[in-house]
A and B are shown apart, each in its own frame.
Chain A
Amino acid sequence: EVQLVQSGAEVKKPGESLKISCRGSGYSFGAYWIGWVRQMPGKGLEWIGTIYPGDSDTRYSPSFQGQVTISVDRSISTAYLQWSSLKTSDTAMYYCARTHGHPDYWGQGTLVTVSS
């Protein structure tokens, strides 16, 4: 069974750093792109970017380029989304998804709250 399990909810202060994770299982992790999606409170889905675990090829949506970093550790079948300096506007639910032309399996989501 394909599963993507994300790390737990986070509460941070503005300016702090953060790295959330997404562990895949039940399939060949290195053979499928992993994408990250943001959903701000009461708002729509926004595509952040994708990474190919096989060679770490990473592509960002223009709106998120330079704002976040996507990475992967293939040895533990885990993808990451990280911020170096959080803003209150980063408060959102973040989903990872296995991507094969489109997101076909989703993680449960990680709620990130940034507040002073």
Chain B
Amino acid sequence: GAVVSQHPSRVICKSGTSVKIECRSLDFQATTMFWYRQFPKQSLMLMATSNEGSKATYEQGVEKDKFLINHASLTLSTLTVTSAHPEDSSFYICSASGNKQPQHFGDGTRLSIL
């Protein structure tokens, strides 16, 4: 089956640090990648949709200057949490979708900001 690699799996860092999370589709070309966030005991919430070579589309309430998304190639999208604060601590997970493919998920990143 299709494989999506997400890195790192866990990050612990100080408040004010910027954190970059990578999402790679290993065996297919991902025309669209999605970034989700999950707070404890809540459902996966879509943050943004990114299409290769164009600007990401952010969901209502998600700050685009806070969560920078780059999708420079058909196999790589990155999410950068800029100047992270404790309230940004959460579980972040990406998914990738190619032509007529369902969404395939990475393993997620647990972000803890001290």
Are both chains from one complex?
no
On B, residues with C-beta under 8 Å from A are: none
